[in-house]
Amino acid sequence: MAEFTMELSDEQKEVRDWLHGFAADVIRPAAAEWDEREETPWPVIQEAAKVGIYSLDFYAQQYFDPTGLGIPMAMEELFWGDAGIALSIVGTGLAAVGVLANGTEEQIGTWIPQMYGDVNDVKVAAFCSSEPDAGSDVAAMRTRAVYDEAKDEWVLNGTKTWATNGGIAGVHVVVAVVDAELGSKGHASFIIPPATPGLSQGQKFKKHGIRASHTAEVILDNVRVPGSCLLGGKEKLDARLARAREKAKQGGERVKNAAMATFEASRPAVGAMAVGTARAAYEVALEYAQTREQFGRPIIDNQGVAFQLADMRTSIDAARLLVWRASWMAINGKPFTAAEGSMSKLFASETAKKVTAQAIQILGGNGYTREYPVERMHRDSAIYTIFEGTSEIQRLVIARTLAGMPIR
């Protein structure tokens, strides 16, 4: 187990500075353009691929950092550059992690390289879980996967929504119900290879923020995939379903709590994204307050402005510490007995919304225009309190955990 320290190693600092340089030199100058276009920033993703940021190797290295700080550090720097473009760069990682977590060695070796493509032919992948009636309530999922034993094929039908890269991805990873009686334990994940008949893009969403990231519905109409596209394989699935049925008989709530632990471990990464956006807005506001003069002096000399900046910086640092704590706990297998993962995501996401709003206030009329980036940052920040579990869901998880109640 790695000892906790507040001091980053030289290697971590080098990676952080490298990412910051890419965010400052490549992402940030392109942010306004791709926000206005509301299109996937393929040239920026390709630049990220050229330097090694858009690759499985890079994210694997950060994921296995024994301190747990690799991923949150990377997320903070990239999202400091721009949330929409950063999500376009890291979105494929959601699908890749799904395969890494559940797939066989053969599936990992076959599909993950196809998700990223190469420097000359960049690809993206999509992870499809949410549905129109199953966002926070994963047990309400309706997409079904039925096994055709005669052909050794799975047939999938349903509609996915809010899918990052949905429809434009080469490889889609789709979560579907294989045993409705087991709730979320009756779900399985499937690879949908490129150009598979029956998969199509539905509505592409025109969003309030993170507009450079493609978000759409994915329609599955009698999509047939080989049995080999079931992540983990049929034998492993059958064994898992049998265990889940037995555990459900013995104590269903225990099963649900174990599932929630998995979600808890992924939430600090979203918190780190929020910290990056908040920090970016704070830095713009600080520089503006130091250079903007009113009544013959910089506005930072006004206590009303200075105190806002003090609160902004304090909240950002507190959010980062909550994210780092949860990330360290996750990598070291420490149980989230007080829902520390949800705490980090809740506080960081709410901080991003508040700090970006304060930044607009400090810039005044200028902050309300698109001539300054804080307007975009404020729009982008709204997503953090929604995806990967809304703030209301985080509070529910925390409250029920503290009360010793089952999480449903």
Which residues are known catalytic residues?
388
Cα 281 vs. chain centroid, distance in angstroms?
20
Burial bucket for residue 114 (CB in 10 Å: 0-12, 13-18, 19+): middle
Burial bucket for residue 390 (CB in 10 Å: 0-12, 13-18, 19+): middle
Number of continuous H segments (helices) and E segments (strands) in the chain? 12, 11
Tokens of 24: 């400052």
For residues 143 and 202, the answer to whether their CB atoms sit within 8 Å is: no
Q: How far apart are CA 146 and CA 157, in angstroms?
A: 9
At position 318, the amino acid (one-letter code) is A
For residues 175 and 188, the answer to whether their CB atoms sit within 8 Å is: yes
SS3 227: helix
**Element spanning 190, H or E:** strand 187-192
